[in-house]
Homo-oligomer: A and B are copies of this chain.
Amino acid sequence: MNIRNTLLGLLLDGPQTGYDLKQMFDSSLGFFAGASFGSIYPILKRCEKQGLVEMELELQDGKPNRKIYQLTLEGRKVFMDALSDELTISPYRNEFLTRLFFFGRLEGSRREEIIREYLSYIDGRIGALAELRPMVEENADAYQSLCYRFGVRYVNDLRENARMLLTEIEGEGKE
């Protein structure tokens, strides 16, 4: 599920502009996926060429015209295939664990700081999920709710794990 397929999936809900899609992307899927305009606009254009979407121009005064993209049957098929495809997870890269791996080389005070930076990152994600909650309760379908709950458990587990780590490292510093 690269950005292209995810965009096709979002278009199942109905025609959207690139701008709209970015907002949907960042809000609904913000917890586990993201996309910049620099990828969205070229991808939509490419999808149109390939017949996965169709574009309709909505003329506007003052503002740039809106390009409203709508899924074709072919585009729908491409998405459904991707959705049903065997799950393959691309190699996971964890910035924090990579740092931790080399902590032996780092001065003592900076170690705790970096873990705290990680904790504040996690808290940021917890906060973002909390803000998302009303939207989930209103608009989300059953699986999107499960997605949300998975995310909440995930970040809370992560937080506890990081807290334990901090305790262990603080302990070492004082011995």
A residues whose Cβ falls under 8 Å from a Cβ of B: 1, 6, 9, 12, 28-29, 31-34, 80, 83-84, 86-107, 110-111, 114, 117-118, 121, 141-144, 146-147, 150-151, 153-154, 157-158, 161, 164-165, 168-169, 172
Known contacts A6-B98, A93-B33, A153 near B161 by CB under 8 Å: yes
Q: Is A97 a contact of B31 with CB atoms below 8 Å?
A: yes
Residues of the B chain whose Cβ atoms lie less than 8 Å from the Cβ of A103 = 143, 146
The answer to whether B117 and A99 touch across the interface, beta carbons within 8 angstroms, is no
Partner of A33 from the list B32, B94, B146, B165 (CB cut-off 8 Å) is B94
Complex contact B165–A150 (CB within 8 A) = yes
A95's partner among B90, B107, B168 (CB-CB below 8 A) is B90
Q: A100-B146, A146-B168 are in contact. List 6 more A-B contacts (CB 8 A).
A: A1-B95, A33-B93, A87-B96, A103-B146, A146-B165, A150-B161
Chain B: minimal CB distance from A45 (Å):
22
Query: How far apart are the CA atoms of A34 and B93 in the complex, in Å?
Result: 7
Query: Which of B98, B110, B111, B141 has a CB less than 8 Å from the CB of A29?
Result: B98
In the complex with contacts A9-B105, A32-B93, A1-B99 CB distance below 8 A: yes
Choice from B83, B91, B141, B157 contacting A161 with Cβ under 8 Å: B157
